[in-house]
């Protein structure tokens, strides 16, 4: 990834790209964060439905659980950096 910012010697962020381009990339990042959070919630509901049907051992359940765990890890990393609530 080509960075659009850098930190100077005092730790302040310095923008090295045009503001419009940086804002566009920020918007895409925010879209991705929202999509991951929405998918995480939807997967939880789908897993609950499969559990209620007694399908905890099914391929579909295991695949969705794997996706939910990946989403959880990504969200955890973003929270640790203060990027999502």
pTM: 0.83
Q: What is the pLDDT of residue 69?
A: 98
pLDDT digits (tens, 9 = 90+) for 2-60: 889 999 999 999 999 899 999 999 999 999 999 999 999 999 999 999 999 999 999 99
Q: Is 6 helix (H, G, I), strand (E, B) or coil?
A: strand
d(CA 52, CA 4): 47
Share in percent of the chain as helix, strand, coil (round to 5): 65, 5, 25
């Amino acid at each position: 990834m080509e960075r659009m910012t850098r930190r100077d010697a005092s730790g302040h962020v310095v923008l090295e790209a045009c503001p419009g381009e940086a804002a566009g990339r920020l918007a895409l990042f925010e879209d991705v964060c929202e999509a991951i959070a929405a998918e995480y919630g939807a997967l939880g509901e789908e897993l609950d439905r499969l559990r209620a049907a007694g399908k905890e051992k099914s391929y579909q359940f295991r695949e969705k659980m794997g996706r939910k765990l990946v989403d959880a890890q990504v969200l955890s990393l973003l929270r640790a950096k203060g990027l999502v609530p």
